A and B are shown apart, each in its own frame.
Chain A
Amino acid sequence: MIVLDNVTKIFYSRHVKNTVFKDLNAVFPSQTSVALLGRNGAGKSTLLQIMAGSLIPNSGRVLSDGNISFPIGLASSLHPFMSGAQNTKFIARIYGADTDSLKKFVEDFAELDEKFYLPIRTYSSGMRSRLMFGINMGLKFDTYLVDEVSAVGDAAFREKSESLFKERMKESGAVFISHSMGLVRRMCTAGAVLENGRITYYEDLEEAIRAHHRNIQAADINDD
C-alpha cells in the first residue's frame, strides 16, 4: 500500500515556477495493479519517482507499509560501460539480494544470450528494457513501479513477461504507466487519473479509462 499525503511537487527552472501537482491525496492499495493515466506532462513519471523515493516532494509525505521498487523504464540507471551481468549484480548488491541467483534469473528471462556479458551501450533500447524488466521482476517488492515499458520483443516474449508480471501481482501491487490502453487493460485492475494536478482513484479500470479519454477530448477542444 502506498499513501500519498498532501504531496506537492514544484520544479524551478530558470526561476520559473512549475507546479506539477499540489496537495495530492490518494491511496494505492496492496496487491492491486493500478494504471496511472494522464496526458503527456501531467506528472505521471514525477509522481512515480516520488513514490519510489528518488525525488523528494516539496511538501507532504509518501507512506508505505512495504518495500517499493525503483521505477522500471526510467531514464537509464544502467551503467553504459558495465555489462548486463555486472549491472544486475550491482542492483542485487544494493538491494541485498543474492547476486548469483538474480543473475541466473535475469539471464534466463531476458534472453540476451552472449550480449548479457557485453556492455550495455551496445544494447538496443528493447534489450535494455528487457534487462531492466527482468532485474526488477527478479527482485521481491511489495509494489512495483513500471514506467512506460512498451511492448518489447516478439509476441512470445511479451506473453512471457505479461505472465510473469501477473504471477508477481498475486502477492504484490503495482503502479503502471502506459499510453497503450490495450496493455493497461491486460495488466491492471484499477486506475488513477492524474489531471491538472489532481488525482482521482477509480476502483474500476474502465471508469478510469473513460475519465482519461474525456480529459484527452476536453484538451483537444480547448486547443481548437
Chain B
Amino acid sequence: MKGATNELRPVQTTVSGRVLPRFSTMRTIVALCLREVTTSNGDTAGGYMWSVVSPVIGIIGLSYIFSAGFRTPPLGENFAIFYATGLLPFTMFRSVCGRVEFSIRASRQLLNYPRVTVFDVLISKFIMATITQAAISALVLAFILYFYQPDTTFHIVQILQSFIVAALMGFGFGVMNCAVKTKLPLWEMLWNFVSKPLLLVSGVIILVESLPRPYSEWLLWNPLVHITGRMREAFYVDYVGSYTDLRFPLEIALVSAFIGMAGIKLFARELLDT
C-alpha cells in the first residue's frame, strides 16, 4: 500500500471503527494469547502452568478440609464433589469477569500499537481466562471423581451448558464493569461490595431449597443460582433443579455485554487517555 493513487482514509485507531472483526483481528488475538501464555508468572520456572496448577491445588485443598469438617453435605454423600460442582462454575464467572474487567489496564502498553484494538485485548483475555478456567475445572473434577469415586452421574451436555453460560456472563459483566468504571471510578468500589457476598448467595454452599420461602424466591433473581443449579443437576440424579432456567443468565450476559461494548465504544477516548 503506497503511492499517491491511494485514497485518503481515517487512520485506524485502537478502537476499530468496524463492528465485524477484520482478518487482522484474528491474527492479533492469537498473538495476544501466545503472549499471555509466555509471559504469565514472569520468569518463574513452570510459567503459565502455575496459573492452572495453583488454583487446582487450592480448590482440592479446601474441599479436603471442608470434607473433614462437614461430614454430610446438603446434597449427596461426598463433600468434595458437592463443593466442586458449585464452586467451579462460580469461579468460571468470577475469574473471567475479573480478567476481562482489568484487561485494558493490564495491557495498556499494548494499545500503543494501533494494530491492537481494545476489542482484541478484551477477546484475547476472555479466551485465555476461559481456557485456563476450563483446564482447572477439568483437573479438579477428574481428581475428585477418580480418588473419591462419589456416587454421582455425569451429564456432559448440562455441564458444558453451565460452564459456557458462566463464561459468557463473566464476559458480559467484565466488559460492562470496564466501561462503567471509565466514567464512574466509584463503580469499582461498589462492585467490590456487591460481589463479596456473591459466593454465599449463588447456591455454591447454601442450596436454594434449604432456605425458607421468601428468600429462596428472591435468590432466583441471582443469575448465578441458575448456573450452579444446572451443574448440580448434571451430577445428582435426585436433584430436581426445576427452577433452573439458563435463558435468564444468558439474557443478562447479552444485555451486560451490549452495555459494555457500547460504553467502550462511547468512552474509548477516555479509556485510552487514562
Q: Which of B26-34, B59-67, B206-214 contacts A (4 or more CB under 8 A)?
A: B26-34
Q: Would A54 and B272 be within 8 Å (CB), given that A62-B11, A82-B35 are in contact? A: yes
Question: Is B196 in contact with chain A by the CB < 8 A criterion?
Answer: no
Question: Is A53 in contact with chain B by the CB < 8 A criterion?
Answer: yes
Asked if A71 and B4 sit within 8 Å, CB to CB, the answer is no
Question: Is B153 in contact with chain A by the CB < 8 A criterion?
Answer: no
For B11, the chain A residues whose CB sits under 8 A away are 2, 51-53, 62-64, 68
A33 CA to B113 CA, complexed, in Å: 21
A contacts with B: majority SS: loop
Q: Would A75 and B268 be within 8 Å (CB), given that A64-B8, A82-B38, A90-B35 are in contact? A: no
Asked if A70 and B114 sit within 8 Å, CB to CB, the answer is yes
> How big is chain B's contact interface, by range?
35 or more
Residue in chain A with minimal CB distance to B6 = A65
Chain B residues in the interface with A (C-beta under 8 A): 1-2, 4, 6-15, 24, 27-28, 30-31, 34-35, 38-39, 42-43, 109-116, 268-269, 272-273
Q: Would A82 and B27 be within 8 Å (CB), given that A65-B6, A71-B112, A94-B115 are in contact? A: no
Q: Would A65 and B9 be within 8 Å (CB), given that A81-B39, A94-B28 are in contact? A: yes
Residue in chain B with minimal CB distance to A55 = B272
Asked if A54 and B14 sit within 8 Å, CB to CB, the answer is yes
User: Interface digits, A32-75 against B, CB 8 Å rule (1 contact, 0 not)?
Assistant: 00000000000000000101111111100111111110110011
For A49, the chain B residues whose CB sits under 8 A away are 112
Determine which residue in B6, B9, B31 has the highest number of CB atoms from chain A within 10 A of its CB, and name it: B31
Sorted nearest first, the 9 A-B pairs with minimum C-beta distance are: A53-B114, A93-B31, A65-B6, A53-B13, A77-B112, A63-B8, A56-B269, A62-B11, A53-B11
Residue in chain A with minimal CB distance to B114 = A53
Asked if A65 and B28 sit within 8 Å, CB to CB, the answer is no
User: Interface digits, A143-182 against B, CB 8 Å rule (1 contact, 0 not)?
Assistant: 0000000000000000000000000000110000000000
A67 CA to B28 CA, complexed, in Å: 17
For A71, the chain B residues whose CB sits under 8 A away are 112
